[in-house]
Amino acid sequence: MQQKPWFDKECVDFLDQRKQAKMQWIQDPSRSNVDNLNNIRCNASRHFRNKKKAYLKAKIEELETNSKVNNVTDLYRGINDFNKGYHPRTIIVKDE
């Protein structure tokens, strides 16, 4: 799984909590465990959605400031990161 830049320790805790609730539901499929699992899934999804939204908002603001400052190189690098995903620059040296 590729690590997302907005994915932090708090998100890992939500994943662990969701995994434990699922294991508890598998061992004892009672109604209370189903409700508990659904609540934890909902909270985890909401948390992930909010983290991603905050990250994207910060990136867009950064691109906006690059646009206003006429920092064209960083502006287009940021736009291409959105479109194509991040790829590190490769420098190739040819032997002649």
CA distance 75 to 56: 15
Does the pLDDT at position 1 exceed 60?
no
Confidence of residue 72 (pLDDT cuts 50, 70, 90): confident
pLDDT digits (tens, 9 = 90+) for 16-35: 999 999 999 999 999 999 99
Contact status, residue 59 vs residue 48, Cβ threshold 8 Å = no
Alpha helices in 1-96 (DSSP H): 9-27, 31-68, 72-84
Provide the residue ranges of all domains of the chain, joining segments of one domain with +: 9-84
pTM of the complete model: 0.71
